[in-house]
Structure 1
Amino acid sequence: MPGPKDLDPSTSPRALLGAELRHARENAGLSQRELGEPLFVSASFIGQLESGTRRMLPDIARRIDEILGTNGFFERNCKAANKSRYPDHFAEAAEAEAVATTIREYAPQLIPGLLQTEAYARAVFRAYQPTAPEETIDELVEARLERARILEDPTEPLLWTVLDEAVLRREVGDGSVMAENLRHVAALIRRHRIIAQVLPFGAGAHPSMGGALKLMAFADAPPLAYFEGPGTGQLEDAPGAVTHHELAYDLVAASALSPRESLALIESVTEDYAHEEHRP
């Protein structure tokens, strides 16, 4: 029987690679758990590879070819499937985000990437890379705005974000940049496109003080948790760990202002920035 054809990298290569993996695994008569055991990964990880929510690394691809007898197909094609315009530490999370049905996110310092305006994103990237060529900053901003296009769908994904009050108070760019971006957030709330809460300074200590947290759920794959620091990020799929982070998010949301109170605070801070912009 002829083996699978090499994938065309121009046509959703990761989804195609996942579909081929499911087909080859089922032809071999293996369950996701049975394929995962010799790879030392979980059944849920295999499911995420098959659904295209996780990237297949070359060493995993090589072992899959050995186990399934696919003549180097997965090793040859995983490089095309892993091409990304995002930084390595965030690429897998960004690509999973694009197919998530629900995204819940706690943002401790910055307006989340999916909610950033062009001017705000530019100020963030310039702060991160003060000596980078303008072309580099342009590429980063373009990639971030491209990510945000998932919100053009009127209903999916469901996006629920908790913004620390520091996100509203930290002036990124200048007052006009902040006012524009907070108006954008408020408009998405008023259109019922997102759910947003603000965690006030008065809430005190909470379970996610260590950094940003993103939880993603999918129609055909187990949930993922992603947490990050400066220049680093970790995607977690172990059920126990994901459950732990889900509890942390729920506790943060429970300590935050209600959506109505949060919108009022966001719009009040927006007006403060707008008044600052017009001061002589």
Structure 2
Amino acid sequence: MAERTHLTPRQKYGEELRRRRLAAGMTQQELAEKVICSHTLISHIEAGRRLPQPEDARRLDQVLGADGWFERWLLDLENRYADHFAEAAELEQQAVEIKEYAATLVPGLLQTETYARAVFRAFSPNYRAEELERRVVNRIERARVLDNPASPVVWTVLCEGVLRRRVGGGAAMAHQLGEIADHAEAGRIRLHVIPFSTGAHALMESMVSLMTFADMAPAAYVEGLLTGQLMDEPSRVRNCQAAYYLALGDALSHRQSLALVRAAAREHEHGERVQHP
């Protein structure tokens, strides 16, 4: 009983689901079929790794006769992130390996405070200062996953356009690229840039984040304007992985990429056009 006091609210939510499922005499697979979701999702919820979507919570209440418990308590577990990214943000913190491709802007895990603030200002022209700062803090908090020098292993593939787009001004962009280069030089991330000269490549339609875990199946996340999709279906994740490796084959080497990022940082700092080293 003493052990339960150390459970997080999400783990307690999962424990309640497990308790009610067992009381109803159902396996995870049987519950998943009745709720119309994957067996994997039920497993993740019970382990406190993920939360159901509101419609899934409503179906859990109906199937288990929980009188609205799961839907009501879901509201109390409000995410710090946009709904479409919330589950991916949770999984990101548990990953042992993250492979990212960024098509238009620096990945959230690598954004500096100034860069992130400029991104949020551009997205919300009528922003409130306190709301903008909350978003910036949440984004910077994500980067703490990089404080551990050993895990997760991080691969970052950037489109050359990410280096050229001057977000937040020349000085801010120079600092941002300098931070990325520092991580790469220190061995914290593996860095590759896909130059414009490559032309078409396998990931040009979308950003993607591939996450691998110690105790569960890998997942992939893609995102667009006000929308995102987390995928854990094995065949779809494998297709995303295949596209990533195809694009990686078209990228500059780690050494060449590091040199290009350093050169781009210097040129932003001096207000020059970014050129290949």
Q: TM-score, normalised by structure 2?
A: 0.87
Which stretch of the first structure deviates more once superposed, 116-125 or 239-248?
239-248
CA offset digits 1:200-241 (Å, max 9, x no partner)? 112211222222111122223322211111222111222221
| 1:47 to 2:43 alignment | yes
Residue 253 to residue 50, structure 1, CA distance change in 2 (3 Å): farther
CA distance in 2: counterparts of 1:67 and 1:239, whole angstroms? 27
CA distance in 1 between partners of 2:40 and 2:109 (Å): 26
Q: 1:11 to 1:85 in 2, by over 3 A?
A: farther
Tell me whether 173-182 or 208-217 shows the greater mean CA deviation.
Answer: 208-217
Cα deviation, residue 14, structure 1: 1.9
8 A contact 1:48–1:221 mirrored in 2:
no
2:238 & 2:19 partners in 1: Cα distance? 30
State the partner residue of 2:162: 167
Q: Indicate conservation of the 8 Å contact 1:13/1:80, yes or no.
A: no
Is the Cα–Cα contact under 8 Å of residues 166 and 268 in structure 2 kept in the other structure? no
Measured on the aligned residues, the alpha-carbon RMSD in Å equals 2.5
Residues 79, 162 of structure 1: alpha-carbon distance in 2 compared, 3 angstrom cutoff: same
Q: What is the distance in 2 between the residues matched to 1:58 and 1:276?
A: 48
Contact persistence 2:201–2:247 (CA under 8 A) = yes
The SS at the match of 1:93 is helix
1:250 aligns with 2:245: yes
Match of 1:222 in 2: 217
Distance 1:128 1:11, change over 3 A: farther
Count of aligned pairs: 270
Task: Work out whether 1:124 is the aligned partner of 2:96.
Answer: no
Aligned counterparts of 1:78 and 1:32: Cα–Cα separation in 2? 20
Q: Deviations over 1:248-277 (max 9, x none)?
A: 111111211111221111111112223338
2:91 matched residue in structure 1: 96
Structure 2 residues not aligned, in runs of 5+: 273-277
Q: Deviations over 1:172-221 (max 9, x none)?
A: 11111111011111111122111121111122112222221111222233
Q: 2:108 aligns with which of 93, 107, 113?
A: 113
Q: Find the partner of 2:11 among 12, 15, 26.
A: 15
Name the CA distance, whole Å, in 2 between partners of 1:12 and 1:119.
32
- The CA deviation string for residues 59-84 of structure 1, in whole angstroms up to 9 with x for no partner, is 32343345456565434432223x11
Give the partner amino acid of 1:80: D
Counterpart Cα distance in 2 of 1:240 and 1:85:
30
SS in 2 for 1:276: coil
Q: Does 1:241 align with 2:230?
A: no
Partner Cα distance (2:18, 2:217) in 1: 16
Q: Any residues of structure 2 matched to 1:183-194 within 5 Å, and which? A: 183-194=178-189
Runs of 5+ consecutive residues of structure 1 not aligned to the other structure? none
The C-alpha deviation readout for 1:135-181, integer Å capped at 9, x for no partner, is: 22212111111111111122222221111110001111111111101
8 Å CA contact 1:51–1:221 kept in 2: the answer is no
Is 242-251 or 14-23 further displaced after alignment? 14-23
- AA of the residue aligned to 2:12: L
Mapping 1:256-271, distance limit 5 Å: 256-271=251-266
Whole-angstrom CA distance in 1 between matches of 2:256 and 2:15: 45
| Paired amino acid for 2:168 | G
